[in-house]
Chains A and B, each alone.
Chain A
Amino acid sequence: MSIDWKSYDANGFYDELITARGKPRPAGSVLAKYLGSLSDQEINERKLAAEHAIIEMGISFTVYTEGGNIDRAWPFDIIPRIIARSEWDPVDRGLRQRLTALNLFIDDIYNEQRIVRDKVFPAEVLAQSKNFREQCRDFHPVHGVWAHICGSDLVRDADGRIYVLEDNLRVPSGVSYMLENRQVTKRVFPELFENYRIQPVDEYPAQLFDMLASLSPRPLDYPEVVVLTPGIYNSAYFEHAYLAQGMGAELVEGSDLLVADDDCVYMRTIEGLERVDVIYRRIDDWFMDPEAFDPDSLLGVPGLMRAWRAGNVALVNAPGAGVADDKVVYAYVPEMIRYYLDEEPIIDNVPTYLCMDPKQCEYVLANLDQLVVKPANESGGYGMIVGPHATKAQRREFAELIRRDPRNYIAQPTLKISTAPTLCDGHVEPRHLDLRPFVLQGVRTNVTAGGLTRVALNKGSLVVNSSQGGGSKDTWIVDLGSGG
């Protein structure tokens, strides 16, 4: 008997599988019992099988290093994370509510700006927004949707409640790993799938395609949908190729496209030029069109914004959608939900201090050793400081950064984010994790069943980004029937 749940100790954190008494939660009891019945050797065999499958399936991610880019095997933990469907359903509803409000906000911001006029959203936050694009003013995309794909990061605190940590509305990534994690887990634990009613995740590429196709400016049976990638050296290239393949869409680079004199987008093919209707772009606003944004960008397509504004091509997510990706804007999402939808937020934000507010800033500076401070517009866990884990010198340095540019920083209490059993050298140990579900909004809205669970593989660490030593797990939303 390798795994002894009685000796598993989550050390005061909320554990996703095992309660303080060493007993599994109802949704996880079958899993815990099953894992406990496996010998050391069996567990090791499963782990090797998963590693082998990952290499064989070529599931990789790219890491930027000083020496260039390395394609690495995807770090994966075989023990799935389980959430009961009864607990997931409100989260699902909360995510829909959130994205609906965010899209109303973005559309408003680029048009009437009612929310600013009504003083619900401060004008100065907008004035200093890095991702507000003047080029997008006075435009209404199809269905009024700007952010068609959103990846929101959720965490569970010690109180057992789930909070939104941030919303990713520019080019959220990770969904391919969610899908591949499921494939690997099916190979490793086929027998568990017989004993659980696990919500499938495989239909995501089809839903994504339908959403994209519904935005086509030409009413055709088969609109030309393409995925625009910055290229093979991008850290998410694996995902770009994966999704294009899953949708049967062309994976294009900027140099494959051109905007002709008729303001339509074409791709260069062996047959000549072919018109493109919908572009799922996985490239930042700033690099998308050298005519409208960075003139030195070689990744983009000159004239793309012209074609978009003329209504001849749909861009997903729409340019400028990142205005809501700002962590200061995030703090206002609950207000947006009340303002636009006249509803109470179903999922709460993590309490957030805005350094732009002098009072809150004072509090942040005085309590740096207890707070996590993040820059408003970075992603991938870059440029942040975890107060309790930082040195005095680092905190001093950060205090200076905050004083110099308060608008650019927010602070949150150090959450006691939840753990789940993770395989470490043949036995299980608690590791911290988060969850990134993906929400699609077009004519309809879809939420993935679960999402991508990211795990901090290093003991005690709270950093889950794969670029910084994190791994992942399969995520199961299980239906326990009437009781669950």
Chain B
Amino acid sequence: MLSRVAERLYWLARYLERAEGTARMVTAYNHLALDMPVADRLAWAGLVSITGSEDLFEARFSGYTEAKVIKFLLGDKDNPGSIMNSLSHARENVRTTRDLLPSEVWEAVNELHLFARSNLDSGWTKRGRYHYLSQIRSRCQQITGMLAGTMSHDHAYHFIRLGRNLERADMTSRLLDVAAVSLLQEDEDKDADGAGFEGLLWVNILKSLSASQMYRQHVRRGVNASDVLHFLFHDKAFPRAMAHALGEVESSLAQLPRNDVPLRMAIEIKRHALQSDIERLLEPKTLHAFIDEMQQEMAELHSLISETWFSLDRAA
């Protein structure tokens, strides 16, 4: 298959997963906000920092209010990572690879994009937000399902699976990073306030990954930092756990031609996640530093993938 096309499919999957992940995060955060007794306890800034776009936000808005953050994450034209922009990019990537994808996928992505755009206003309201985001989430999942169920699991499919799982691992690491940053924050505030929100925070992290039910079934214990970290770093069966997502990356890489360099890197990152010492990571500073390392490694893997298969000069 064409290098250019492989690249577009890979990005199609990343953008779709990013839109879904962002919809998940906002939904979970929204729920958490409703649960919190003190309004200012849950800074909406946290949501922006997950996506790593504080600078961009601050250049566009002054002050992190709910309305501004939601606007920024859902539909802001100048935020390349907003749900709307992710979906436009996804649509553009399908539009330019239609010859390879099942036509129902084009129809579904097209409809999703149309839905997201024409209902954006309702996503901004408190009342309409839940329905809007859950539609985005389930339509993204529908597309993932269509691809899995109607597309030959050939090279093209493996580039999609690669993009999806790398983005997924990245999203999970970002969410865990928010926990690290919030805990650091709380350490500083503890003297003043006393009562912790740690428990609620970990529940929320699990919920945002649709992980709380599977966590209950597999961990069979109450929610605590050590178990959640263990589950989200080491579990090989839960789709959004680092070990699982990176395992999927590895197995897709294994199906592609000329794969040795990126494959070796992927195996290394997975081992890194699996061998992390959870007791040590309970210290927020260590956790933050560790996640930073993992994100750098994933960025490096992306560059290797791009050099191996997408860069046209290489193939020539």
Interface residues on A, range: 20 to 34
Mask, A228-257, CB within 8 Å of B = 1, is: 000010000000011011000111110110
B268 at the interface (CB under 8 A from A): no
In the complex, chain B residues whose CB is within 8 Å of the CB of A245: 98-100, 103
**Cβ 8 A contact of B4, one of A56, A57, A255:** A255
**Cβ 8 A contact of A258, one of B92, B99, B257, B316:** B316
Once the chains bind, are B257 and A273 in contact (CB under 8 Å)?
no
In the complex, chain B residues whose CB is within 8 Å of the CB of A252: 2
Indicate whether A253 sits within 8 Å of B1 (C-beta atoms), given known contacts A245-B103, A270-B256. no
A147–B92 CA distance with the chains assembled, in angstroms: 33
A58 at the interface (CB under 8 A from B): yes
Once the chains bind, are A271 and B257 in contact (CB under 8 Å)?
yes
A227–B96 CA distance with the chains assembled, in angstroms: 13
Indicate whether A273 sits within 8 Å of B99 (C-beta atoms), given known contacts A56-B110, A267-B2, A268-B2. no
Q: How far is the CB of A355 from chain B (nearest CB, A)?
A: 43
Q: Kindly report which residue of chain B lies nearest to residue A267, judged by CB atoms.
A: B2
Once the chains bind, are A241 and B315 in contact (CB under 8 Å)?
no
B interface majority secondary structure: helix
**Cβ 8 A contact of A268, one of B96, B103, B312:** B312
Indicate whether A250 sits within 8 Å of B2 (C-beta atoms), given known contacts A271-B257, A272-B315. yes
A55 at the interface (CB under 8 A from B): yes
A227–B100 CA distance with the chains assembled, in angstroms: 13
Mask, A260-277, CB within 8 Å of B = 1, is: 000000011111110000
In the complex, chain A residues whose CB is within 8 Å of the CB of B3: 256, 268-270
Once the chains bind, are A241 and B309 in contact (CB under 8 Å)?
no
Once the chains bind, are A58 and B312 in contact (CB under 8 Å)?
no
Once the chains bind, are B315 and A244 in contact (CB under 8 Å)?
no
Q: How far is the CB of A405 from chain B (nearest CB, A)?
A: 40
In the complex, chain B residues whose CB is within 8 Å of the CB of A272: 257-258, 315
Q: Which of B27-74 contact A (CB under 8 A)?
A: none
Once the chains bind, are B95 and A255 in contact (CB under 8 Å)?
no
Q: How far is the CB of B13 from chain A (nearest CB, A)?
A: 15
Q: Kindly report which residue of chain B lies nearest to residue A242, judged by CB atoms.
A: B98
Once the chains bind, are A269 and B2 in contact (CB under 8 Å)?
yes
In the complex, chain A residues whose CB is within 8 Å of the CB of B258: 270-272
Q: Kindly report which residue of chain A lies nearest to residue B313, judged by CB atoms.
A: A268
Q: Kindly report which residue of chain B lies nearest to residue A255, judged by CB atoms.
A: B312
A254–B65 CA distance with the chains assembled, in angstroms: 48
Q: Kindly report which residue of chain A lies nearest to residue B311, judged by CB atoms.
A: A268
| Number of B interface residues in the complex (CB < 8 A) | 26
Mask, B253-266, CB within 8 Å of A = 1, is: 00011100000000
Q: How far is the CB of A206 from chain B (nearest CB, A)?
A: 16
**Cβ 8 A contact of A58, one of B4, B100, B107:** B107
Once the chains bind, are A270 and B6 in contact (CB under 8 Å)?
yes
A56–B106 CA distance with the chains assembled, in angstroms: 9
In the complex, chain B residues whose CB is within 8 Å of the CB of A249: 99
In the complex, chain A residues whose CB is within 8 Å of the CB of B256: 270
Once the chains bind, are B114 and A250 in contact (CB under 8 Å)?
no
A232–B4 CA distance with the chains assembled, in angstroms: 13
In the complex, chain B residues whose CB is within 8 Å of the CB of A255: 4, 312
Mask, B233-263, CB within 8 Å of A = 1, is: 0000000000000000000000011100000
A49–B144 CA distance with the chains assembled, in angstroms: 27
Once the chains bind, are A57 and B309 in contact (CB under 8 Å)?
no
**Cβ 8 A contact of A270, one of B96, B107, B155:** B155
B78 at the interface (CB under 8 A from A): no
A65–B5 CA distance with the chains assembled, in angstroms: 28
Q: Kindly report which residue of chain B lies nearest to residue A56, judged by CB atoms.
A: B107
B111 at the interface (CB under 8 A from A): yes
Once the chains bind, are A241 and B316 in contact (CB under 8 Å)?
no
Q: Kindly report which residue of chain A lies nearest to residue B101, judged by CB atoms.
A: A245
Q: How far is the CB of A264 from chain B (nearest CB, A)?
A: 14
A55–B106 CA distance with the chains assembled, in angstroms: 11
Q: How far is the CB of A436 from chain B (nearest CB, A)?
A: 23
Q: How far is the CB of B80 from chain A (nearest CB, A)?
A: 18
Q: How far is the CB of B272 from chain A (nearest CB, A)?
A: 27
Q: Which of B76-102 contact A (CB under 8 A)?
A: 92, 95-96, 98-100
Q: How far is the CB of B98 from chain A (nearest CB, A)?
A: 4
Mask, A104-118, CB within 8 Å of B = 1, is: 000000000000000
Indicate whether A241 sits within 8 Å of B257 (C-beta atoms), given known contacts A56-B107, A268-B315, A270-B1. no
In the complex, chain B residues whose CB is within 8 Å of the CB of A271: 257-258
In the complex, chain B residues whose CB is within 8 Å of the CB of A256: 2-4, 312
Q: Which of B89-143 contact A (CB under 8 A)?
A: 92, 95-96, 98-100, 103, 106-107, 110-111, 114
In the complex, chain A residues whose CB is within 8 Å of the CB of B6: 270
Once the chains bind, are B95 and A232 in contact (CB under 8 Å)?
yes
In the complex, chain B residues whose CB is within 8 Å of the CB of A270: 1-3, 6, 155, 256-258, 309, 315
In the complex, chain A residues whose CB is within 8 Å of the CB of B106: 58
A/B interface sample: 25 pairs, CB < 8 A: A55-B114, A56-B107, A56-B110, A58-B106, A71-B95, A227-B99, A241-B95, A241-B96, A241-B98, A244-B99, A245-B98, A245-B99, A249-B99, A255-B312, A256-B3, A256-B4, A256-B312, A258-B316, A269-B2, A269-B3, A269-B315, A270-B3, A270-B155, A270-B258, A273-B316
* Known contacts A241-B95, A252-B2, then 12 further A-B pairs from the complex at CB < 8 Å, ordered by chain A residue: A55-B114, A56-B111, A242-B98, A244-B99, A245-B99, A256-B312, A269-B1, A269-B2, A270-B155, A271-B257, A272-B257, A273-B315
Q: Which 6 pairs of residues, A with B, have the shortest CB-CB distance?
A: A268-B315, A244-B99, A245-B99, A241-B98, A251-B99, A270-B309
